Structure 1
Amino acid sequence: MKPRRKGVKHPPAARFPKKKPSIEAIMAERDIVRATIAGIPLRDREDVEQTAVVAVWNAIRRGMFRPDPRDTPRVAIRKFMHGVAWRTAAHHINSAYTRRVVLTEQPLGLLRDLVGPDLEAQVAAREVLDAVASLPDWQREALLSVDSPESLVEYAKRRRMNPSTAASRLRIAREALALRLKRWRR
């Protein structure tokens, strides 16, 4: 007997014999796939349904359909198709294409003439504005003083504080903003 390496796991033995239902039986039960993928956007539903049916057929051809003999053939194939459709829908929803797609009514050739900030810049700007809004008033005021036309010394004199204190508050506010942004982007 060979010694087993630590951490190596073997798949469990098949409990039931393989079955190969016909393609007609699979196509007759497509409604379970449609019901399972109901949360997918309409524009993608037909593609995901087709992918799930093909995945079911391929899994059956590979011998992965091993139904419980106590189930009727129709119930068994519906259970199997539900599981495959559920995994296909989850894969579609979590795919990078679905998460990052930006729909526009313009054809791709006209996107070159698009004027204005891109979507990523808008999202980043909104994150920064939300982070600035969540800071205490004195930190927000110190950060906004950088944008004013007056110098930091004039800003400090107008508020009757030492310029070193104003510089220290600005440094603390910048660090707090950087920390908030770092936490939100994780």
Structure 2
Amino acid sequence: MHLPFSQACENNQAPILEVLQRHFAGSRRVLEIGSGTGQHSVYFAPRMPHLDWQTSDLEQNHPGIRAWHAQHPAPNLHAPLPLDLSQGGWPAGNFDAVFTSNTAHIVSWPLVQRMFELVGTHLPEQGVFAIYGPFNYQGGFTSDSNRAFDAMLRQRDPESGLRNFEDIVALARLHSLHLAEDHPMPANNRTLVFVKNG
């Protein structure tokens, strides 16, 4: 099979890894929501061998993820499970960490809300949720490139677009997820790290 490829997945993998290695140091089983092509999983899993890395996505994306896994196998890398936020399901198994990349600005806001509800419900106390992507701050764009990206997204799908950092933090708090760190990333992206506590 021809490997699906996303340049966005390739960008900033090393800086994201640096954040995850620190915040997932005490974790054992990670669920990746929206594994996409699978590129992130084959990069992160072998570099964090103490973790079981569980991929997930819509079922139509599973063949591409499996193809990347076949080319870059790792003993702690697991074949994708079906996860459709619009259906509201949560994969079987216990996870003490969750990672998602470039999802919040692609799916609709109700699905972002559903994602945080699911993560807040299923993560244990002190579980970690890391979310990577571009965000607005105080209702404004942090760069001209983010402004143009947002316009492109909304033209393609009016339900998508960059989310406000403050709205994400407030949404997380509703589900007992509290902001631990906000990491600046290259190319005007961020990695937000939340910890579950009552």
Q: TM-score, normalised by structure 1?
A: 0.21
Structure with greater strand percent: 2
Computing the radius of gyration from Cα coordinates, the structure with the larger value is 1
Q: Which has the higher contact order (CA 8 A, sep 6+)?
A: 2
